[in-house]
Amino acid sequence: MRKNNNNNPLQVKLKVLSLPKGVSAKRFNQRLIEHIDEGRPLPRSWDVEISWRNPKTKHGATKRWRSDPFEDAIADSRSGFVSLMRDVLVRRLRRLV
């Protein structure tokens, strides 16, 4: 059964600023999930930025996107946001398979 995302209107974008050529999209998403689950640091050559906003909040749809380096955003966020981010990555990974 498909999950109802009406309660989770968070919009998320990942921007890859630097990534070695040989890294596949599948491996990229898996490694981001490993960072969330196990706290493994991303390789030094990886530079990933996460942007997000919640359009269902007051002025959310017109509010600017917030962005931070991926590792900083995960480290500084509450567990609810981290869980939502993990769900986004798992959905992206499933689409690749």
The whole-number pLDDT of residue 7 equals: 60
- DSSP string covering the chain: ----GGG---EEEEEEEE--TT--HHHHHHHHHHHHHH-PPPPTT-EEEEEEE-TTSTTTTTSPPEEEEHHHHHHHS-HHHHHHHHHHHHHHHHHH-
Full residue range of the structural domain in which residue 50 is found:
5-96
The whole-number pLDDT of residue 42 equals: 94
pTM check: above 0.85: no
Which position has the higher pLDDT, 58 or 86? 86
- How many structural domains are present in the chain? 1
Q: Dump pLDDT digits (tens) for 27-84.
A: 999 999 999 999 999 999 999 999 988 777 766 666 788 899 999 999 999 998 899 8
